Amino acid sequence: MRVFQLWFLASCSLVTGCVADGSTVDPGGQHPLPSTTRSYRGSYLVPTSDELASAAIFSLDRVDWKVEDGTVTLRYDLPIGLVGGTLAIRLSGPIEAGSTQVTLTGQGAGSCVSDGIAVTCNEALADLGVLPISMGVVERAAATEYAGPVADRVAVAQLFSSDPLGVVSFVLPSSTGDDGDREEAP
């Protein structure tokens, strides 16, 4: 399992990006990261085995991308169905106008890239405390949010608790101006 996770992070490094389904983005297709503050709906993926892949993708209602004074801050709550409670993540780093990649630090470290369609941030989180906060909450969330076996979501939560690696991604507004349900971040 650990070999797969290391491979995943290596293959989804600054050279390439990954999208929620684990596929990679062509590095020649990198585009500038957003230079304005905004909130998005997104997803969180925990790198895992093929058997647990569908249980390892979670929706995020809100991902904040805040750009201010040459610093970008990525903020979101880890999925309750993954960690069994509310756990906010905040990573920041310097960003220049037109940057196609950014390195973030805070509660661990991350690297973000854009392919012009989505922003993808590969993360190795740290200092999150004891996880899951509540396995009962993980199980109840799995029963209502996931069509597969609850045991698969439990296995993903246990994996994440011992090695908190993940990929947060969000889709950028289209060039046609379709913003979906996104709103500006505070």
Encode pLDDT of 36-45 as tens digits.
999 999 999 9
> Over 70: is that where the pLDDT of 14 sits?
no
Q: Read off the pLDDT of each residue in 138-144 and give the average, rounded to a whole number.
A: 97
Contact 32, 99 (CB under 8 A): yes
Percent share of the chain, pLDDT over 70: 78
58-115 pLDDT, tens digit each: 999 999 999 999 999 999 999 999 999 999 999 999 999 999 999 999 999 999 999 9
Q: Structure tokens of 112?
A: 């973000």
Q: What local confidence, expressed as pLDDT, does residue 6 receive? A: 35
> Over 80: is that where the pLDDT of 53 sits?
yes
Angle at Cα 165 formed by Cα 161 and Cα 169, nearest 5°?
125
Predicted structure pTM score: 0.81
Domains and their CATH numbers in the chain:
2-16+38-171 (2.40.160)
Q: What local confidence, expressed as pLDDT, does residue 108 receive? A: 96
Q: Find the length of the chain.
A: 186
Q: What local confidence, expressed as pLDDT, does residue 64 receive? A: 98
Q: What local confidence, expressed as pLDDT, does residue 89 receive? A: 98
Closest CA to 39 of 71, 70, 72, 76: 76
- State how far the alpha carbon of 101 is from the alpha carbons of 44, 74, 113, in Å: 19, 13, 5
Taking all residues of the chain, what is their mean pLDDT, rounded to a whole number? 85
pLDDT band at 30; cut points 50, 70, 90: confident
> Over 60: is that where the pLDDT of 26 sits?
no
Q: Structure tokens of 159?
A: 């994996």
Q: What local confidence, expressed as pLDDT, does residue 112 receive? A: 98
- Which amino acid is it at 53? A
Which one-letter DSSP state was computed for residue 183? Answer: B
CA atoms of 144 and 80, how far apart (whole Å): 12
pLDDT band at 177; cut points 50, 70, 90: low
Indicate the helix (H) or strand (E) that contains 66: strand 57-68
Percent share of the chain, pLDDT over 90: 76
Q: What local confidence, expressed as pLDDT, does residue 9 receive? A: 39
